[in-house]
């Protein structure tokens, strides 16, 4: 991975994906692991791109009429709103942050997180895509694999170790507040005002993946 690769990825995203980013950023579709997402986090996290230049490139696309406001606003908010917020929480709250257990969850992580062998179709699909690409977009991480871990009462350290192991963009300072705070609510509300817990109705509304039957077995 070089700076040149990073700039190519940024230019590709701005020209081809940003215009539809706002409309589809929360959507999940079978067989479309990337949709209109940026896939820029590995470059950003290792320093080949910086947050400011990405936001400036997106803003320029808006000013030149190449992307609509809802797309550019939504994208810049991910970087400035979420990434920088998560960074601030880590630096302000660590090391004590990782030790909190607000919901007293203690179940072991089910083995199918590693194998993908489960009859839960939405989980099987996201885990298969994760294994294939070391990537899942934010809503898949939060509302599929994260939501299941929250509802099942998985031990925060076990699910944190999983996110850290399986994604190409995983860095502890970024993974920890997302998993410990946003997914597991183990911080008691420092990052989010309430747990991101949802039923199958949410997944049904936001995707086509719950409708088909899983082909793998638990």
Residues of the shown chain interacting with ligand FAD in the complex, contacts defined by CB under 6 A: 25, 37-41, 44-45, 78-79, 82-83, 86, 137-138, 141-142, 146, 163, 167, 169-171, 174-175, 178-179, 182-183
- Beta carbon nearer to ligand FAD, 56 or 212: 56
Smallest separation (angstroms) from ligand FAD to the CB of 54: 8
Cβ of residue 213: shortest distance to ligand FAD, in angstroms?
Answer: 26
Q: Is the separation of the CB atoms in 19 and 71 below 8 Å?
A: yes
Nearer to ligand FAD, 120 or 182 (CB): 182
Smallest distance from the beta carbon of 13 to ligand FAD, in angstroms?
7
Q: Nearer to ligand FAD by C-beta: 101 or 211?
A: 101
Bridge partners for 107 per DSSP: 154
Minimum CB distance to ligand FAD smaller for 1 or for 211: 1
Measured CA angle at 11 (ends 35, 36), to 5 deg: 10
Which alpha helices (H) appear in the chain, and where do they start and end? 3-12, 18-24, 41-45, 51-63, 69-76, 84-93, 112-115, 121-133, 138-140, 147-152, 156-166, 172-176, 200-206
DSSP 8-state class, residue 154: B
What does the alpha-carbon distance between residue 160 and residue 163 come to, in Å, rounded to a whole number? Answer: 5
CB of 78 to ligand FAD, least distance (A): 3
Nearest to 89 by CA among 181, 170, 157, 163: 181
- Contact (CB, 8 A) for 22 and 73: yes
Least distance (Å) from ligand FAD to the CB of residue 208? 19
For residue 215, what are its two tokens? Answer: 């082909």
- The whole-angstrom separation of Cα 134 and Cα 94 is 27
In this complex, which beta carbon is closest to ligand FAD, that of residue 188 or of residue 212? 188
CB 155 within 8 A of CB 107: yes
Residue with Cβ nearer ligand FAD (41 or 121): 41
Q: Taking the complex as a whole, how short is the minimal distance between the CB of residue 136 and ligand FAD, in angstroms? A: 7
């Amino acid at each position: 991975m070089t700076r040149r690769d990073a700039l190519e990825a940024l230019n590709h995203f701005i020209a081809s994906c940003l215009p539809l980013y706002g409309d589809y950023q929360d959507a999940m579709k079978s067989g479309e692991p990337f949709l209109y997402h940026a896939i820029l986090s590995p470059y950003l996290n290792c320093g080949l791109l910086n947050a400011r230049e990405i936001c400036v490139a997106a803003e320029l696309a808006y000013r030149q009429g190449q992307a609509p406001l809802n797309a550019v606003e939504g994208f810049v908010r991910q970087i400035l709103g979420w990434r920088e917020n998560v960074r601030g929480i880590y630096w302000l709250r660590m090391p004590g942050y990782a030790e909190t257990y607000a919901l007293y969850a203690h179940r072991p992580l089910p083995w199918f997180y590693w194998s993908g062998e489960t009859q839960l179709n939405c989980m099987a699909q996201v885990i298969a895509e994760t294994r294939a690409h070391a990537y899942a977009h934010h809503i898949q991480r939060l509302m599929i694999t994260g939501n299941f871990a929250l509802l099942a009462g998985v031990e925060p350290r076990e699910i944190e170790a999983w996110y850290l192991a399986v994604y190409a963009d995983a860095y502890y300072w970024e993974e920890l507040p997302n998993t410990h705070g946003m997914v597991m609510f183990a911080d008691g509300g420092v990052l989010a005002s309430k747990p991101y817990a949802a039923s199958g109705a949410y997944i049904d509304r936001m995707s086509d993946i719950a409708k088909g039957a899983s082909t793998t077995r638990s």
